[in-house]
Structure 1
Amino acid sequence: MTQTDSPRILGGRYEVGELIGRGGMAEVHLGHDTRLGRTVAIKMLRVDLARDSSFLTRFRREAQSAAGLSHHSIVAVYDSGEETFTETGGATVDVPYIVMEYVDGQTLREILNEEGKLSPDEAARVTMGILSALEYSHDKGIVHRDIKPANVMLTKGGSVKVMDFGIARALADTGATMTSAQAVVGTARYLSPEQAQGETVDARSDLYSAGCVFFELLTGRTPFVGEPVSLVYQHITDPPKPPSFYEPSVPGSMDAVALRSLEKKRDDRYQSAADFRSDLQAARTGAPLSAPTQALLVGAGAGTGATSMMRRTPPAAEAPPPRRRDYTREIDDHDRPTRRHTGLWIVAAAVALLAILGIGYLVMNGSGNDTKTIRVPSVVQQPQASAERTLNQAGFSNVKVNLVKSSDVTKGYVASTDPSGGTETEASTQIVLNVSDGPGLVAVPNVAGKTEQEARDALKQAGFLNVSVGNSAVADTQYEKGQVTSTNPSTGTQTDPSQTVSLNLSSGKVHVPDGIVGMTAGDAQSALSDAHLRYRTQSVPVSDQSQVGKVLSASPNAGSEVDLNSTVDLRIGAYAAPTVTATVTQTPTTEPTTPTQPNSPSPTKSTPSSKPSPTSSSKPSSPSPSPSASGSGDGNAQ
């Protein structure tokens, strides 16, 4: 693999893959966490904006804000950092990135583009998911400030995921307005009036934006349409029409909920995400709405523009123009009292007849107590015991409990009733309490890389109480001994939380890859790295040039089971240094005749011997060389 083919690695562990999304200030890539072996989404600030301090601040704030949020309806942030990139001219720039949970699904914007709108019940369900995420973030002191369809995802399983806390701020930050150097932050079609006016925002600003999204899910359009500047003024001054004005299928209860969320004054709006979500649940189940929302439904009081739009009574018809007096048809005054009295006698006779008929009906059917009707009290979102007690006190003794699966209502609490709250019915009517038995299906969380106890805690938090450990430890993984390698059912599987989840734990052992002997050094090193092993190389001269650069042997041997991250020694063939053979040729010389000295022996020629003496071998330049000391120097080196 060439250098250009190698994937870009961030932080030493995140492989950057294909581009899957692009926004105003960042790009999102598909990524792979090589350490934990999971798919992630990597959001990187655009390089051309990395030198802009305002964009850097916003991007870093996103990482800080979202890092502390852990909720099933919020896209999780796993990691963040900065990577140095070299530009074309050679200059370097630090580009921040955020590693997030990869969500397999579509944004609400994509869904609306394809389908136009959602059914009222589905629109309410999705909005309740958004509000669940906002309720959690608001409790943590974080206001999102940019709720819109493009920032909400729907997984293939139907779960709601809110993402992009890029301009979120701590509620304690008193300077958290929608402007920065008078530049609008947020999206104009979903902007709250206080954001549009540059005032300090709070959690209720998010609820207004969520109301705009709910309106669009119901009708396929936002409450206000126009150019950005026009939209700002409409949010501040114009009362919205009810959703049913554009989509007649929207029930009146959801009209009221939408319009209350869009009140201009924050104090008239929903005060918390929980209140908003509770009214949505009531609208879905037919239960009574909260009093302020109910007032919008019936048009009580003068109220705001939103209130006046909900008045169901038609406006009074204009008075007809006065007719010209026709004296020829005028009735004499003395005739009027007679006609008035005649009418009264007719009415009195009709009342008497009805009274007689009513008494007769009561006589024939006994007393009227058996047909007395009672209003069914609203007990949705109440504990089962409390709901049964409330119904009994209201006069209903025939109460049946029916367990249902619900992801929106806490286990043991009432999800709905039949008949629904507010219905007038006889005391003898059976009231069915649909009590939540918890979520129907729950996604198995990713616990790979955690210890057994950490995995059990994470599964318990997700609702899985039955957890077991596999019979045998798993080898050849990237995880240390005792860490979870996988689960059965696998991560992300939607399953009943009562089902047992089995943990597969790592043995901490891996096998030295087969076939590395004979590989090139680079391929062998890659194979060892893939097997989560380290390597150490030793160059060994070889005479066979075909073995140069290849693995001659490995220790431990290929196929051996060794500890994770242990070291394998590789002997790599290398060019042998050329052998230089020195040949020494000695030429015999004639000894000079030396005059005989008195009392000295006469000179004598040395006798050749089969082996040179040590003296002649070590000192070839001595006056008495051996004429037989000829040949290579290799032998003398013995």
Structure 2
Amino acid sequence: MALTIRERKVPQLDLRSCAFRYSNNTPVQDQASTSGEFRVSDFDRLDVLGRGNGGPVYKVAHRRTETLYALKVLRGGEGEPGSSAAEADVLRRADSPYVVRCHSVLPTASGHAALLLELVDGGSLASVMGRRGAFPEAALAEVAAQALSGLAYLHARRIVHRDVKPANLLVSTAGEVKIADFGIAKVLARPGDGCAEYEGTAAYMSPERFDSERRHDADPFAADVWGLGVTILELLMGRYPLLADGQKPTRAALMCAICFREMPTVSGGAASPELRRFVALCLLKDHTKRASVSHLLAHPFVSGRDVTASKQALRQLVARD
């Protein structure tokens, strides 16, 4: 469930212009490439993983080494949100185990660019929920801890993601959570900078981002916390939590639910008091009162978890039958 809104429209990619060779041969091992330079023509396209902000994402294999990667092909103007230049700039600044790694920026035959990314073998949290349904609390604690660690790393470097949601949090079969899809992320030039653009996925936007006056001055990092809160609540419930089950996610319905309705409460049997308080701190409508990433990392739901048990619970969810 996602209603994506942009002020600037990115042209659709002409897939015929991508210089891929199709292959039905699945690589048998994932070994590091010994080559320092890559070209799009060095890779076989194996599958379509999805579509991120700005372009489609493919599963590819390096023809010589058989190493698996994700390749995101982008088409956007220089400096525009969703452009390869903007996304690559953000990813070049990031070197964290909680952020998907960008190995290289490659030109395509059509003159656009592609990002060669690490392949996270468990897929997105959205895809895991689609297969498994609602997450147990132990797994949610691990998701929250690792996602917050990634956000803490980004925010310390003045990078705001602006589209935190289950589809943009990837998870490995080893239980590693990584923030992905920086197509509309922004590097803030100085303290006090805001994010005035009305972009992203409306279902995960914070209340202040719907307000054309407030979003100029609102703390942009608080919007990432809101997105994480909605994500954790969605994984707990097994469906998008801010609309009634089956309700059409129009912009008007989402804005009304996010900006004006009370946040949904989780019954005592479905979640511990620590989890309920954690989500409530993320989903305060007033961004000035919303918990910061550092406060949430110290919250008992995260800091008091049994790390071994929570990671095992997440690995069990991700494992394919």
- TM-score range for the pair, normalised by the shorter chain length: 0.7 to 0.9
Query: How is 1:458-477 mapped onto 2 (pairs within 5 angstroms)?
Result: none
Q: Partners in 2 of 1:77 and 1:163 — Cα distance?
A: 10
1:57, distance to aligned residue in structure 2 (A): 5.5
**Structure showing greater relative contact order (alpha-carbon pairs closer than 8 Å, 6 or more residues apart):** 2
> For 2:46, what is the secondary structure of its paired residue?
strand
The alignment status of 1:40 with 2:54, answered yes or no, reads no
Which of residues 223, 233, 247 in structure 2 aligns to 1:205? 223
Q: Partners in 2 of 1:152 and 1:123 — Cα distance?
A: 13
Which of residues 285, 294, 298 in structure 2 aligns to 1:274? 294
The alignment status of 1:141 with 2:158, answered yes or no, reads yes
Task: Please give the per-residue CA displacement for 1:196-234, whole angstroms capped at 9, x wherever unaligned.
Answer: 224145212101110111111222233411422221232
Partners of 1:131 and 1:276 within 8 A in 2: yes
Q: 1:138 to 1:72 in 2, by over 3 A?
A: same
Which of residues 253, 276, 286 in structure 1 aligns to 2:274? 253
1:140, distance to aligned residue in structure 2 (A): 1.5
Aligned to 1:196: 210
Q: Partners in 1 of 2:89 and 2:102 — Cα distance?
A: 10
The one-letter code of the counterpart of 1:71 is S
Q: Partners in 2 of 1:35 and 1:71 — Cα distance?
A: 28
The alignment status of 1:83 with 2:108, answered yes or no, reads yes
Partners of 1:30 and 1:41 within 8 A in 2: yes
Query: How is 1:34-183 mapped onto 2 (pairs within 5 angstroms)?
Result: 38-45=67-74, 50=75, 58-85=83-110, 94-172=111-189, 176-177=194-195, 179=197
Q: 1:57 to 1:215 in 2, by over 3 A?
A: closer
The alignment status of 1:240 with 2:276, answered yes or no, reads no
The one-letter code of the counterpart of 1:28 is V
Task: Please give the per-residue CA displacement for 1:89-112, whole angstroms capped at 9, x wherever unaligned.
Answer: xxxxx2211010111112111111
> For 1:244, what is the secondary structure of its paired residue?
coil
Partners of 1:253 and 1:283 within 8 A in 2: no
> For 1:105, what is the secondary structure of its paired residue?
coil
Q: Partners in 1 of 2:153 and 2:165 — Cα distance?
A: 18
Query: When the two structures are superposed, what TM-score results if normalisation uses the length of structure 1?
Result: 0.39
The one-letter code of the counterpart of 2:253 is S
The one-letter code of the counterpart of 1:165 is F
Query: When the two structures are superposed, what TM-score results if normalisation uses the length of structure 2?
Result: 0.74
The alignment status of 1:218 with 2:233, answered yes or no, reads no
Q: 1:56 to 1:205 in 2, by over 3 A?
A: closer
> For 2:84, what is the secondary structure of its paired residue?
helix
Aligned to 1:19: 47
Q: 1:120 to 1:12 in 2, by over 3 A?
A: closer
> For 1:123, what is the secondary structure of its paired residue?
helix
Q: Partners in 1 of 2:87 and 2:41 — Cα distance?
A: 21
The one-letter code of the counterpart of 2:45 is G
Identity %, equivalent residues:
23
Partners of 2:81 and 2:184 within 8 A in 1: no
Task: Please give the per-residue CA displacement for 1:327-349, whole angstroms capped at 9, x wherever unaligned.
Answer: xxxxxxxxxxxxxxxxxxxxxxx
Partners of 2:79 and 2:85 within 8 A in 1: no
Partners of 2:134 and 2:238 within 8 A in 1: yes
Q: Partners in 2 of 1:164 and 1:134 — Cα distance?
A: 13
Q: Partners in 2 of 1:282 and 1:65 — Cα distance?
A: 29
Q: 1:235 to 1:135 in 2, by over 3 A?
A: same
1:52, distance to aligned residue in structure 2 (A): 6.0
Aligned to 1:31: 60
> For 1:28, what is the secondary structure of its paired residue?
strand
> For 1:218, what is the secondary structure of its paired residue?
helix
> For 2:98, what is the secondary structure of its paired residue?
coil
Task: Please give the per-residue CA displacement for 1:330-381, whole angstroms capped at 9, x wherever unaligned.
Answer: xxxxxxxxxxxxxxxxxxxxxxxxxxxxxxxxxxxxxxxxxxxxxxxxxxxx
1:175, distance to aligned residue in structure 2 (A): 6.1
Q: Which runs of 5+ in 2 are unaligned?
A: 1-18, 23-36, 244-248, 313-321
> For 1:106, what is the secondary structure of its paired residue?
coil
> For 1:64, what is the secondary structure of its paired residue?
helix
Query: How is 1:536-555 mapped onto 2 (pairs within 5 angstroms)?
Result: none
Task: Please give the per-residue CA displacement for 1:231-252, whole angstroms capped at 9, x wherever unaligned.
Answer: 123222222022227xx32112
Q: Partners in 1 of 2:95 and 2:133 — Cα distance?
A: 32
Q: Partners in 2 of 1:223 and 1:160 — Cα distance?
A: 22
Higher alpha-carbon Rg: 1
1:38, distance to aligned residue in structure 2 (A): 2.6
The two structures, once aligned, show a CA RMSD in angstroms of 3.0
> For 1:84, what is the secondary structure of its paired residue?
coil
> For 1:21, what is the secondary structure of its paired residue?
strand
Q: 1:34 to 1:227 in 2, by over 3 A?
A: same
1:19, distance to aligned residue in structure 2 (A): 3.2
Partners of 1:73 and 1:132 within 8 A in 2: yes
Partners of 1:83 and 1:95 within 8 A in 2: yes
1:59, distance to aligned residue in structure 2 (A): 3.2
Q: Partners in 2 of 1:170 and 1:142 — Cα distance?
A: 5
> For 2:200, what is the secondary structure of its paired residue?
coil
Aligned to 1:525: none
Q: Which runs of 5+ in 1 are unaligned?
A: 86-93, 286-404, 409-438, 441-638
The one-letter code of the counterpart of 1:70 is D
The one-letter code of the counterpart of 1:269 is R
Q: Partners in 1 of 2:76 and 2:153 — Cα distance?
A: 34
Q: 1:235 to 1:42 in 2, by over 3 A?
A: same
Q: Partners in 1 of 2:277 and 2:148 — Cα distance?
A: 17
1:54, distance to aligned residue in structure 2 (A): 7.8
